[in-house]
Every structure is written in structure tokens, then in C-alpha cells.
């Protein structure tokens, strides 16, 4: 397991509030890499309308869904991945990677971080939020989506980027995020409804996942808690 050296105790129900605490969000030009449905970016722009967000998504199905949603002022969608960012040098003040770095192909992690640094302005910030491979919810998910290797590789890539001398570490922050599921059916629906990965568990595996879920689920009305880690880097 990827056990954190820090035992997190802070429960964060809204990561946007944490982002606002760590990063200045006044009139920032922002790029989100691997935006998914871009939920946080949409809310960020509602709170900080002087900002702009270019949201990149490599998954074609999710990108099409994003384009079909009602437009959010200041938000534009780009079909691209972090390993090949279609913007000129020094275009952005802030880059966001929200649970997306570990989805970059392992052989392209260093390229993706170098590309991110390229499109940031001097002293620009990179905010990377990643789930830690630990906790009861992880014990359920690892039965059908074991991400231990890719999450470790993502963190190691961040450490290599820092060691390269092109970045300064601002902070590494650990916290817990609540994750609510009414029951196993909701868990299954949300886990298999993603388009960026194949997450099917049928037959005997489904019963194994259900049994693990029921064994570790919190009391009724209480959430799972997912350990999270933020790495905030600044471009030198």
C-alpha cells in the first residue's frame, strides 16, 4: 500500500475551499489537465468570474459530454492530454490536475509535467490533487481497479520534477475527503459509469466486491473517507 507518512485528520468536504486557501484565484488564467466533467472548474468560475479556465480532456466521450452541457462563461474545452498541451509557452498562471495525474500513461508522466511547466508563466503554480492508495474504500476498489502502481508512479514523477530544479515545492498537504454511497447499487453505478476506464465487475467478482463493500461500509448515513494528498509546486 501507499501509506502516507502523514496521518491526515482534516476532513475536507469542498476541495474548492481548500484550493482557494492555498492558491490566489483573482483573475487567474487557469488550465485544467484531465478535467473530466470539470465540476470544480465550473464552480470556481461562478465564484471567481474574473478567472478563465481552459479544460483539457483526452477522453473523447467525456469531451463530447462537456461540449453538450450549457456553457459556463470563462470555460473552454480542448480535446488534448497533458503530454501534448496545445498552447504556447507561458500562457497560464495556474495548472490544475484533480485526480488525473495517475491516469497519464506511465511512460508519459515526465513529459506531461514538463509540458505543464512549459505553459506556466514564471512563478506559476501547479496544483496536483491525488487519492492516496489507502483506506477502506480503496480496499473495495482495488478488487477491480488496482491503482497502486500508477498512483505511486505519479508521485515519483512529481519528485523527479522537483529534483530536476525547475520547480519549487510550496507544500504537500494531506487531508480526508468524504465519499457518500447510499448502498452498493449506487457504488456500482458510479464506479462503472466512467468513460475513461473499463470498470466492469460481473459474476463472482461482483459478489466479491459486494461482500467487501458490505464488510467495510460505514454506519448508515456516514461516508467513507478517502485519504488525499495535494502537491503544490511553483515554476522557478
* Alpha-carbon span 41 to 131, nearest angstrom: 19
Q: What pLDDT is stored for residue 191 in this prediction?
A: 86
Q: What pLDDT is stored for residue 192 in this prediction?
A: 81
| Domain that includes residue 61, residue range | 15-132+147-177+228-235
214's torsion region: left (phi>0), alpha (psi -120 to 50) or beta?
alpha
Tens place of pLDDT for every residue, the chain, 236 residues?
444 455 677 999 999 999 999 999 989 999 999 999 999 999 999 999 999 999 999 999 999 999 999 999 999 999 999 999 999 999 999 999 999 999 999 999 999 999 999 999 999 999 999 999 999 999 999 998 899 999 999 999 999 999 999 999 999 999 999 999 999 999 998 988 665 556 677 789 999 999 999 999 999 889 999 999 999 999 99
* Alpha-carbon span 234 to 236, nearest angstrom: 6
C-alpha separations of 99 from 28, 103, 116, 130, 219 in Å: 21, 8, 15, 5, 27
Q: What pLDDT is stored for residue 201 in this prediction?
A: 75
* Alpha-carbon span 61 to 74, nearest angstrom: 22
40, part of any domain: yes
C-alpha cell at 51: 478567472
Q: What pLDDT is stored for residue 25 in this prediction?
A: 94
Q: For residue 80, what is the enclosing H or E element?
A: none
Contact criterion met (CB below 8 Å) for 143 and 102: no
* In the block, residue with C-alpha cell 508519459: 108
191, part of any domain: no
Q: What pLDDT is stored for residue 9 in this prediction?
A: 79
C-alpha separations of 41 from 139, 178, 186, 224, 228 in Å: 29, 20, 25, 24, 19
Task: Output the domain CATH number for residue 172.
Answer: 3.40.50.150
91, part of any domain: yes
- What burial class does residue 65 get, using C-beta atoms within 10 Å of its C-beta: 0-12 exposed, 13-18 middle, 19+ buried? middle
Please state, as a whole number, how many other Cβ atoms lie within 10 Å of the Cβ of residue 82: 26
67, part of any domain: yes
Q: What pLDDT is stored for residue 4 in this prediction?
A: 46
Q: How many domains does the chain have?
A: 1
SS3 of residue 31 by DSSP: strand
Q: What pLDDT is stored for residue 153 in this prediction?
A: 98
Q: Give 155's DSSP letter.
A: H
SS3 of residue 9 by DSSP: coil
Amino acid at each position: 500500500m501507499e501509506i502516507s507518512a502523514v496521518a491526515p485528520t482534516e476532513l475536507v468536504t469542498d476541495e474548492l475551499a481548500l484550493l482557494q486557501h492555498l492558491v490566489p484565484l483573482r483573475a487567474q488564467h487557469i488550465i485544467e489537465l484531465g478535467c473530466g466533467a470539470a465540476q470544480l472548474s465550473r464552480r470556481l468560475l461562478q465564484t471567481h468570474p474574473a478567472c478563465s479556465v481552459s479544460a483539457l480532456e483526452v477522453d473523447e466521450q467525456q469531451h463530447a459530454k462537456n461540449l453538450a452541457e450549457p456553457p459556463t462563461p470563462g470555460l473552454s474545452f480542448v480535446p488534448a492530454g497533458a503530454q501534448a498541451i496545445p498552447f504556447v509557452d507561458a500562457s497560464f498562471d495556474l495548472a490544475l490536475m484533480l485526480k488525473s495525474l495517475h491516469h497519464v500513461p506511465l511512460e508519459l508522466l515526465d513529459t506531461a509535467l514538463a509540458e505543464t511547466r512549459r505553459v506556466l508563466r514564471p512563478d506559476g503554480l501547479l496544483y496536483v490533487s491525488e487519492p492516496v492508495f489507502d483506506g477502506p474504500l480503496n480496499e473495495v476498489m482495488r478488487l477491480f481497479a488496482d491503482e497502486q502502481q500508477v498512483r505511486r508512479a505519479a508521485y515519483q514523477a512529481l519528485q523527479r520534477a522537483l529534483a530536476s530544479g525547475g520547480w519549487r515545492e510550496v507544500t504537500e498537504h494531506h487531508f480526508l475527503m468524504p465519499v457518500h454511497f447510499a448502498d452498493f447499487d449506487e457504488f456500482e453505478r458510479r464506479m462503472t459509469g466512467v468513460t475513461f476506464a473499463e470498470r466492469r465487475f460481473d459474476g463472482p467478482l461482483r459478489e466479491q466486491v459486494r461482500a467487501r463493500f458490505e464488510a467495510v461500509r460505514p454506519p448508515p448515513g456516514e461516508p467513507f473517507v478517502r485519504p488525499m494528498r495535494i502537491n503544490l509546486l511553483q515554476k522557478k
